[in-house]
A and B are shown apart, each in its own frame.
Chain A
């Protein structure tokens, strides 16, 4: 058990190091300059010479490896640095934005489950019949519709035409509905297809046929036997989805003015606020890895064969 955890920890460190190097280099190679934000704030008062002084004081004129080394040295001491635009601690900014993202993630998961499970089960139960076609059509629609467009349509219908829900913001269940629907609907198709395929495959197994031969009800076969087996690929994929949700949805959060990590990231990228972007990417890395661990644990809990091989999948 200890070896397993140690291995995972080493993997985590390697992935995060790799991620930090790639992000750092890409950020520096991308056009843009964090000093531009300061120039904008000054409305032109900062001459080019003053800008150089600012760049120097922020350490942006140093060689890339030095900048990276300095950043890494601080991070290992749990100092994530300060935002270049607001002078606030990066860690404080991330932690402040996390709860909103978690709420939205939970809302999206609820929507995803409500959409994907009934449709997946219906599609498999009525294979090649009307409900299956309907389910596939909805899945295709969800996979094809861009989230920004869906978000705007939902706002148009539910906030503008019907005036049932707020257009933007957060803070109540009513605010959560539209962004959750947007995010959940766009994520659902993958799970509808996985569940349908998993159930169809399970239905072809002998033990299901035997259960049917014994006269066990379809309802019982579905919910006591088939779904359990069909859940395995879903749980495996859910790690990636959960990681993505915890990293924040840039588009959905931006459209709905949702104060989560996604909208923070897009603003930090726009302003080339390097420490915030770097901190966000590292945070996302940890979320993805943790979500994958959770998914592995879930898969092991569902399938005794994986448990018996000490977590190693075959």
Chain B
């Protein structure tokens, strides 16, 4: 009887649990079903259906997918606010990577440390406040306080605001100052708007002067933008833009093939053949400002002799890297800056030359031993190469190709894969060469990279490479403001660097961007700064 009572009690409880579970399940389904359907999803679906536009005749929308998720829209801490067309800078880069006016109509250097910029008089922020020198000054002060990177690149000692005239005094002569101002983190924002809405809210929806305003931001997922109808320049052709983020190249590619996005950045090269079969989809391959290279260990006795480094340089099969590994979407490198840039090295890149390698190594004293390996004083030439283990898919493959070519001439290369080569080579000495990959001219000027990579203590010079002959050129570069002269000095610097060969430049990878045929008046730039523009349109 007692057992029966327990049984009934247990049974009721059980049924109650089951009932509650069902209620929870139904609630979940209702909740998820009732969630507001993403407006943008509808737009992308309409795009997929080939309508190209929203149902409303004057509404034009575009969906862009980028590879780098962002957690904040803070314009001084990242690139995305400028990329999204929300903020703008005093100066910008044109298609030829030349610095041109933007929010500032003109500028001049009064002396090596004083720069005067005249701001346009017809510009308002998206909150309606006027952009004058005082507002721009407040923006720079906020940026310098919040971003150590921005502070280090601008080197500003003081700022003076007078009407539309903004005067910067730098801590030291800074001839590349205008180039530094084109960087996205030098965006001009409305500090008044930030004070009114709190920093946290502002970083979710920053207020700039650009052609688009943020309407929604979901960190790590997407930014929804709407046209800024009081934009100071030509009104944007599009009414709505959505930027989504996904770090997986395969998913981005499938999204593009499904026509759920109109512009997709960083497509997987191996997918291009499939994409190109669809007449509605196009792909643009743009040579980037990035350079993959090998850096030699200045402390290694194996590669201390210039001829050994030159011999290894001749073993890099750049053509095969471009054609086989990167499927044609790269440019062989003959210096840190790509040949399309005004300060890039126009000479042809070194071709694979095994005979040349052997000749150089023989001149150093290496001979083939009984095993076919190159030896000097009975010691075989064995090199340790530090390779990237991640992110760019081609980077782990390039060392393998070099290893294979080196084996053919009798050099043994041992590859060690690490996640952060820069950190490894800084803290270890037991290596001979290492892969590296940097943006070498993001601001349309080579000066910054030359100082970072070839001056001891530079950000990209973990082994403190020093080239005697380069020093006077860089000093001259630091005093030269004239753009043409800077380009000539940069080219000269590259020649000197090539002679010393602390690095072997491999390739400049391309940026692969999928662009649906319906998108017009838009092309991707090598600098990847200006993604959403007022000119971009849909057919």
Contact = CB atoms under 8 A, between A and B. Distances in A.
A53 B459 CA distance: 13
Contacts of A31: 418-420, 423-424
B254 A155 contact: yes
B298 interface: no
B459 A51 contact: yes
A136 interface: no
Interface stretch (B93-101, B245-253, B314-322): B245-253
Q: Which of A48, A103, A175 has the largest number of chain B CB atoms within 10 A? A: A48
Interface string A259-292: 1000110010000000000000000000000000
Interface string B7-30: 001110110010000000100110
Nearest to A32: B420
Interface residues of A, number: 68
B246 A171 contact: no
A307 B476 CA distance: 83
Given A50-B152, A301-B17, A168 B251 contact: yes
B251 A155 contact: yes
Given A86-B74, A176-B32, A92 B220 contact: no
Contact of B14 (A51, A156, A302): A302
Given A48-B457, A169-B38, A259-B221, A160 B258 contact: yes
A301 B25 contact: no
A257 B69 CA distance: 9
A264 B69 CA distance: 9
Contacts of B305: none
Contacts of B259: 163
Given A31-B418, A87-B146, A103-B32, A254 B247 contact: yes
A106 B28 contact: yes
A259 B251 contact: no
B256 to A, nearest CB: 9
Q: Which of B9, B255, B438 has the largest number of chain A CB atoms within 10 A? A: B255
Interface in B1-56: 6, 9-11, 13-14, 17, 25, 28-29, 32-33, 35-38, 40-41, 44-45, 48
B150 interface: yes
Contacts of B146: 87
B185 interface: yes
B213 interface: no
Contacts of A44: 438-439, 448-449, 451-453, 458-460
Interface residues of B, number: 80
A167 B152 contact: no
Q: Which of A33, A53, A85, A168 has the largest number of chain B CB atoms within 10 A? A: A168
B350 interface: no
A53 to B, nearest CB: 8
A221 interface: no
Contacts of A170: 38, 218, 221
Given A160-B254, A170-B218, A45 B420 contact: no
Interface string A168-192: 1111111110000000000000000
A38 interface: yes
Interface string A211-252: 000000000000010001000000000000000000000000
B420 A33 contact: yes
A88 interface: yes
A54 B459 contact: no
Given A87-B77, A167-B255, A32 B423 contact: yes
Contacts of B152: 42, 45-47, 50
Contacts of B261: 167
A159 B258 contact: yes
A27 interface: no
A166 interface: yes
A170 B420 CA distance: 33
Given A156-B254, A267-B220, A36 B25 contact: no
Q: Which of A31, A110, A172 has the largest number of chain B CB atoms within 10 A? A: A172
A119 B200 CA distance: 48
Interface in A32-62: 32-33, 36, 38-39, 41-51, 53-54, 57
Contact of A42 (B74, B150, B200, B419): B150
B486 interface: no
B443 A43 contact: yes
A42 B248 contact: no
Interface string B494-522: 00000000000000000000000000000
Contact of B71 (A38, A255, A267): A267
B260 interface: yes
Contact of A85 (B44, B77, B248, B260): B77
Contact of A86 (B38, B71, B257, B420): B71
Contacts of B258: 159-160, 163, 167
Contact of A167 (B149, B251, B423): B251
A174 B44 CA distance: 13
A87 B1 CA distance: 67
Interface in A14-31: 31
A113 B14 CA distance: 17
B173 to A, nearest CB: 16
Contacts of B251: 152, 155, 167-168, 255-257
B439 A43 contact: yes
Contacts of B38: 169-172, 175
A145 B247 CA distance: 21
Contact of B255 (A36, A46, A96, A159): A159
B269 interface: no
Contact of A50 (B65, B148, B443): B148
B153 A92 contact: no
A45 B221 contact: no
A257 B222 CA distance: 9
A234 to B, nearest CB: 12
A245 to B, nearest CB: 13
A41 B149 contact: yes
B326 to A, nearest CB: 22
Given A171-B35, A171-B38, A259-B218, 19 more contacts: A41-B77, A43-B442, A44-B439, A44-B458, A45-B448, A47-B459, A50-B459, A110-B28, A159-B254, A159-B258, A160-B254, A163-B259, A166-B45, A167-B251, A169-B41, A171-B218, A173-B35, A254-B248, A257-B246
12 contacts: A32-B420, A42-B148, A42-B149, A44-B458, A45-B149, A47-B452, A88-B203, A100-B221, A159-B255, A167-B255, A169-B38, A256-B246
Interface of B: 6, 9-11, 13-14, 17, 25, 28-29, 32-33, 35-38, 40-41, 44-45, 48, 65, 69, 71-72, 74, 77-78, 146-150, 152-153, 180, 183, 185, 200, 203, 218-222, 244-248, 250-251, 254-255, 257-261, 418-420, 422-424, 438-439, 442-443, 448-449, 451-453, 457-462
Interface of A: 31-33, 36, 38-39, 41-51, 53-54, 57, 83, 85-89, 92-93, 96-97, 100, 103, 106-107, 109-110, 113, 152, 155-156, 159-160, 163, 166-176, 224, 228, 254-259, 263-264, 267, 301-302, 304
